Amino acid sequence: MAKIIGGLGTSHIPAIGGAIHRGAQQEPYWKPFFDGFPPIREWLGQVKPDVMVMFYNDHGLNFFLDKMPTFAVGAAPQYVNSDEGWGIPSLEPLRGELDLSWQIINHLIDKEFDVTTCQEMLVDHACSLPLKLFYPEGNYPVTVVPVCINTVQFPLPKASRVYALGKAVGEAVAAWDSSKKVAFVASGGLSHQLDGERAGFINKTFDLQFMESLLSNPEWATQYSIHELVEKTGTQGVELLAWLAMRAALTVGESSGVRKVHSNYHIPISNTATGLLALEKF
Protein backbone atom coordinates (compact mmCIF):
# COMPACT_ATOMS: atom_id res chain seq x y z
CA MET A 1 0.00 0.00 0.00
CA ALA A 2 1.04 3.61 -0.49
CA LYS A 3 2.74 5.37 2.41
CA ILE A 4 1.38 8.75 3.58
CA ILE A 5 4.38 10.71 4.85
CA GLY A 6 2.80 14.03 5.83
CA GLY A 7 1.32 17.31 4.71
CA LEU A 8 2.39 20.83 3.81
CA GLY A 9 0.55 24.13 3.73
CA THR A 10 1.75 27.30 2.05
CA SER A 11 0.46 30.58 0.69
CA HIS A 12 0.44 31.00 -3.08
CA ILE A 13 0.36 34.77 -3.69
CA PRO A 14 1.33 35.52 -7.32
CA ALA A 15 3.72 38.29 -6.20
CA ILE A 16 5.87 35.57 -4.59
CA GLY A 17 6.46 34.17 -8.06
CA GLY A 18 7.42 37.62 -9.26
CA ALA A 19 9.97 37.89 -6.45
CA ILE A 20 11.46 34.52 -7.43
CA HIS A 21 11.67 35.62 -11.07
CA ARG A 22 13.47 38.84 -10.09
CA GLY A 23 15.80 37.10 -7.61
CA ALA A 24 14.43 39.25 -4.77
CA GLN A 25 14.35 36.54 -2.10
CA GLN A 26 16.88 38.28 0.15
CA GLU A 27 15.40 41.77 -0.11
CA PRO A 28 14.13 43.00 3.32
CA TYR A 29 10.50 42.82 2.25
CA TRP A 30 10.76 39.20 1.08
CA LYS A 31 13.44 37.67 3.29
CA PRO A 32 11.20 36.79 6.31
CA PHE A 33 8.94 34.84 3.98
CA PHE A 34 11.55 32.96 1.98
CA ASP A 35 13.63 32.21 5.09
CA GLY A 36 10.85 29.86 6.20
CA PHE A 37 11.49 27.35 3.43
CA PRO A 38 14.98 25.84 3.95
CA PRO A 39 13.81 23.56 6.82
CA ILE A 40 10.93 22.39 4.62
CA ARG A 41 13.27 21.61 1.74
CA GLU A 42 15.61 19.76 4.07
CA TRP A 43 12.74 17.61 5.33
CA LEU A 44 11.52 16.90 1.80
CA GLY A 45 15.05 15.85 0.91
CA GLN A 46 14.95 13.35 3.76
CA VAL A 47 11.48 11.84 3.24
CA LYS A 48 11.52 12.10 -0.58
CA PRO A 49 7.82 11.97 -1.53
CA ASP A 50 7.00 10.49 -4.92
CA VAL A 51 3.55 12.08 -5.27
CA MET A 52 1.89 15.24 -3.99
CA VAL A 53 -1.90 15.48 -3.79
CA MET A 54 -2.56 19.21 -4.01
CA PHE A 55 -5.61 20.84 -2.46
CA TYR A 56 -5.98 24.29 -4.01
CA ASN A 57 -8.37 26.77 -5.62
CA ASP A 58 -8.41 27.88 -9.24
CA HIS A 59 -8.27 31.61 -10.04
CA GLY A 60 -9.93 31.64 -13.45
CA LEU A 61 -7.33 29.81 -15.55
CA ASN A 62 -9.24 26.53 -15.73
CA PHE A 63 -12.62 27.44 -14.20
CA PHE A 64 -14.42 30.78 -14.28
CA LEU A 65 -17.51 32.24 -12.62
CA ASP A 66 -19.85 30.84 -15.27
CA LYS A 67 -18.71 27.25 -14.57
CA MET A 68 -17.39 26.69 -11.06
CA PRO A 69 -17.48 23.12 -9.70
CA THR A 70 -17.49 22.72 -5.95
CA PHE A 71 -14.87 19.97 -6.14
CA ALA A 72 -12.81 18.91 -9.17
CA VAL A 73 -10.06 16.30 -9.46
CA GLY A 74 -7.46 16.14 -12.19
CA ALA A 75 -7.01 12.88 -14.09
CA ALA A 76 -4.51 13.94 -16.74
CA PRO A 77 -1.00 12.76 -17.64
CA GLN A 78 0.23 16.33 -17.27
CA TYR A 79 -1.01 19.75 -16.16
CA VAL A 80 0.00 22.86 -18.09
CA ASN A 81 0.25 26.28 -16.45
CA SER A 82 0.39 29.74 -18.00
CA ASP A 83 2.09 33.08 -17.47
CA GLU A 84 -0.65 34.93 -15.61
CA GLY A 85 1.08 38.28 -15.98
CA TRP A 86 1.89 39.08 -12.35
CA GLY A 87 4.08 36.31 -11.07
CA ILE A 88 6.59 33.81 -12.31
CA PRO A 89 6.50 33.01 -16.04
CA SER A 90 5.19 29.66 -17.24
CA LEU A 91 6.94 26.63 -15.78
CA GLU A 92 7.30 23.14 -17.20
CA PRO A 93 4.07 21.08 -17.12
CA LEU A 94 3.41 19.22 -13.89
CA ARG A 95 3.46 15.44 -14.30
CA GLY A 96 0.23 13.67 -13.33
CA GLU A 97 -0.21 10.43 -11.36
CA LEU A 98 -3.07 8.90 -13.34
CA ASP A 99 -3.54 5.71 -11.37
CA LEU A 100 -3.89 7.60 -8.09
CA SER A 101 -6.18 10.19 -9.70
CA TRP A 102 -8.69 7.49 -10.64
CA GLN A 103 -8.30 5.81 -7.27
CA ILE A 104 -9.28 9.11 -5.60
CA ILE A 105 -12.10 9.89 -8.04
CA ASN A 106 -13.69 6.47 -7.72
CA HIS A 107 -13.45 6.53 -3.93
CA LEU A 108 -14.97 10.01 -3.73
CA ILE A 109 -17.88 8.93 -5.93
CA ASP A 110 -18.40 5.89 -3.70
CA LYS A 111 -18.48 8.29 -0.73
CA GLU A 112 -21.21 10.32 -2.51
CA PHE A 113 -19.07 13.32 -3.45
CA ASP A 114 -20.19 14.60 -6.85
CA VAL A 115 -16.80 15.59 -8.21
CA THR A 116 -15.93 16.98 -11.62
CA THR A 117 -13.38 14.74 -13.35
CA CYS A 118 -10.88 16.64 -15.49
CA GLN A 119 -8.94 14.58 -18.04
CA GLU A 120 -7.53 17.86 -19.34
CA MET A 121 -6.78 20.58 -16.80
CA LEU A 122 -4.88 23.84 -16.66
CA VAL A 123 -3.34 24.74 -13.30
CA ASP A 124 -2.43 28.24 -12.18
CA HIS A 125 -0.04 29.64 -9.56
CA ALA A 126 -1.93 27.86 -6.78
CA CYS A 127 -0.42 24.58 -8.05
CA SER A 128 2.83 25.65 -9.68
CA LEU A 129 4.07 28.11 -7.04
CA PRO A 130 4.17 25.71 -4.06
CA LEU A 131 6.29 23.30 -6.11
CA LYS A 132 8.67 26.12 -7.05
CA LEU A 133 8.97 27.07 -3.37
CA PHE A 134 9.60 23.47 -2.28
CA TYR A 135 11.95 22.65 -5.17
CA PRO A 136 13.55 25.94 -6.29
CA GLU A 137 16.05 24.16 -8.50
CA GLY A 138 13.19 22.98 -10.76
CA ASN A 139 12.77 19.51 -12.29
CA TYR A 140 10.28 18.55 -9.61
CA PRO A 141 10.90 14.99 -8.39
CA VAL A 142 7.18 14.40 -7.78
CA THR A 143 4.03 13.68 -9.73
CA VAL A 144 0.82 15.45 -8.72
CA VAL A 145 -2.92 14.97 -8.33
CA PRO A 146 -4.75 18.33 -8.29
CA VAL A 147 -7.86 18.51 -6.11
CA CYS A 148 -9.58 21.85 -6.70
CA ILE A 149 -11.91 23.31 -4.05
CA ASN A 150 -14.16 26.25 -4.87
CA THR A 151 -13.31 29.18 -2.59
CA VAL A 152 -14.21 31.83 -5.16
CA GLN A 153 -17.88 31.77 -6.16
CA PHE A 154 -20.73 31.38 -3.67
CA PRO A 155 -22.17 29.04 -2.63
CA LEU A 156 -18.96 27.70 -1.09
CA PRO A 157 -18.67 24.26 0.53
CA LYS A 158 -18.98 24.08 4.32
CA ALA A 159 -15.80 23.58 6.30
CA SER A 160 -17.16 20.29 7.62
CA ARG A 161 -17.83 19.12 4.05
CA VAL A 162 -14.28 19.99 3.01
CA TYR A 163 -12.94 18.15 6.04
CA ALA A 164 -14.93 15.08 5.01
CA LEU A 165 -13.58 15.41 1.47
CA GLY A 166 -10.00 15.53 2.74
CA LYS A 167 -10.54 12.47 4.89
CA ALA A 168 -12.00 10.56 1.93
CA VAL A 169 -9.02 11.52 -0.22
CA GLY A 170 -6.74 10.26 2.54
CA GLU A 171 -8.64 6.97 2.61
CA ALA A 172 -8.21 6.58 -1.13
CA VAL A 173 -4.48 7.20 -0.93
CA ALA A 174 -4.06 4.81 2.01
CA ALA A 175 -5.77 2.07 -0.01
CA TRP A 176 -3.78 2.73 -3.19
CA ASP A 177 -1.96 -0.41 -4.31
CA SER A 178 1.44 1.21 -4.72
CA SER A 179 4.77 1.40 -2.91
CA LYS A 180 5.01 5.15 -3.56
CA LYS A 181 5.23 7.78 -0.83
CA VAL A 182 2.54 10.48 -0.85
CA ALA A 183 2.39 13.94 0.70
CA PHE A 184 -0.65 16.21 0.83
CA VAL A 185 -0.25 19.89 -0.02
CA ALA A 186 -2.59 22.75 0.94
CA SER A 187 -2.17 25.86 -1.18
CA GLY A 188 -3.73 29.19 -0.21
CA GLY A 189 -4.43 31.75 2.49
CA LEU A 190 -4.17 32.69 5.19
CA SER A 191 -6.36 35.68 6.10
CA HIS A 192 -6.69 38.33 3.41
CA GLN A 193 -9.24 40.37 1.53
CA LEU A 194 -8.31 41.99 -1.75
CA ASP A 195 -11.40 44.10 -2.46
CA GLY A 196 -14.39 45.85 -0.96
CA GLU A 197 -14.68 47.86 2.24
CA ARG A 198 -12.40 45.46 4.14
CA ALA A 199 -9.61 45.37 1.55
CA GLY A 200 -6.35 44.72 3.37
CA PHE A 201 -8.05 42.86 6.24
CA ILE A 202 -5.78 40.46 8.16
CA ASN A 203 -6.65 38.50 11.30
CA LYS A 204 -3.38 37.35 12.89
CA THR A 205 -5.05 36.02 16.04
CA PHE A 206 -7.36 33.73 14.10
CA ASP A 207 -4.61 32.62 11.70
CA LEU A 208 -2.30 31.52 14.51
CA GLN A 209 -5.14 29.78 16.33
CA PHE A 210 -6.07 27.96 13.14
CA MET A 211 -2.49 26.84 12.51
CA GLU A 212 -2.21 25.56 16.07
CA SER A 213 -5.52 23.70 15.75
CA LEU A 214 -4.14 21.68 12.87
CA LEU A 215 -1.85 20.06 15.42
CA SER A 216 -4.04 19.88 18.50
CA ASN A 217 -7.65 19.82 17.25
CA PRO A 218 -7.87 19.40 13.46
CA GLU A 219 -11.66 19.75 13.29
CA TRP A 220 -11.65 23.05 15.19
CA ALA A 221 -12.47 25.23 12.18
CA THR A 222 -15.46 23.10 11.22
CA GLN A 223 -17.46 24.73 14.02
CA TYR A 224 -17.78 27.86 11.86
CA SER A 225 -20.18 28.40 8.99
CA ILE A 226 -18.66 29.49 5.70
CA HIS A 227 -19.97 33.04 6.26
CA GLU A 228 -18.36 33.13 9.70
CA LEU A 229 -15.05 32.05 8.16
CA VAL A 230 -15.32 34.84 5.58
CA GLU A 231 -15.94 37.29 8.41
CA LYS A 232 -12.95 36.02 10.38
CA THR A 233 -10.48 35.59 7.49
CA GLY A 234 -11.64 37.81 4.61
CA THR A 235 -13.24 36.92 1.30
CA GLN A 236 -10.04 35.32 0.01
CA GLY A 237 -8.97 34.00 3.41
CA VAL A 238 -11.42 31.11 3.02
CA GLU A 239 -8.64 29.49 1.02
CA LEU A 240 -7.78 27.98 4.41
CA LEU A 241 -10.31 25.30 3.44
CA ALA A 242 -7.44 23.70 1.52
CA TRP A 243 -5.43 23.48 4.74
CA LEU A 244 -8.38 21.83 6.44
CA ALA A 245 -8.62 19.20 3.69
CA MET A 246 -4.89 18.52 3.90
CA ARG A 247 -5.06 17.95 7.64
CA ALA A 248 -8.13 15.72 7.35
CA ALA A 249 -6.30 13.55 4.84
CA LEU A 250 -3.66 12.83 7.50
CA THR A 251 -6.20 11.41 9.97
CA VAL A 252 -6.56 8.07 8.17
CA GLY A 253 -4.56 4.90 8.72
CA GLU A 254 -3.42 3.03 11.79
CA SER A 255 -2.26 6.25 13.41
CA SER A 256 -3.59 9.77 12.95
CA GLY A 257 -0.72 11.36 14.82
CA VAL A 258 1.35 14.15 13.33
CA ARG A 259 4.34 16.14 14.49
CA LYS A 260 5.25 19.64 13.38
CA VAL A 261 8.38 19.72 11.27
CA HIS A 262 8.42 23.50 10.80
CA SER A 263 6.13 26.51 10.54
CA ASN A 264 6.38 30.15 9.61
CA TYR A 265 3.95 33.07 9.67
CA HIS A 266 4.63 36.50 8.23
CA ILE A 267 2.58 39.61 7.46
CA PRO A 268 2.06 41.20 5.14
CA ILE A 269 3.02 39.93 1.71
CA SER A 270 0.90 41.69 -0.88
CA ASN A 271 -1.82 42.44 1.71
CA THR A 272 -1.90 38.80 2.77
CA ALA A 273 -1.02 36.88 5.91
CA THR A 274 1.34 34.18 4.71
CA GLY A 275 1.48 30.82 6.40
CA LEU A 276 3.81 27.85 6.07
CA LEU A 277 3.47 24.50 7.81
CA ALA A 278 4.92 21.01 7.46
CA LEU A 279 3.46 18.06 9.34
CA GLU A 280 4.99 14.59 9.44
CA LYS A 281 2.69 11.65 9.96
CA PHE A 282 3.63 8.98 12.49
Q: Which helix (H) or strand (E) holds 263?
A: strand 258-269
Helical packing angle, 125-134 and 38-47, nearest 10°: 80
Active-site residue, from 21, 59, 107, 125: 125
The residues, any chain, with a CB within 8 Å of residue 60's CB and separated by 6 or more, are 124
Among this protein's residues, is 192 annotated catalytic? Answer: yes
Which 3 state secondary structure label does DSSP give 195? coil
Among this protein's residues, is 266 annotated catalytic? Answer: no
The residues, any chain, with a CB within 8 Å of residue 174's CB and separated by 6 or more, are 1, 2, 4, 252, 253
117 forms beta bridges with 73
Cβ distance 73 to 147 under 8 Å? yes
Active-site residue, from 12, 107, 192, 266: 192
Type of residue at 44: L
**What is the maximum span of the chain, computed from C-alpha positions, in angstroms?**
51
Catalytic residues, by residue number, are 125, 192
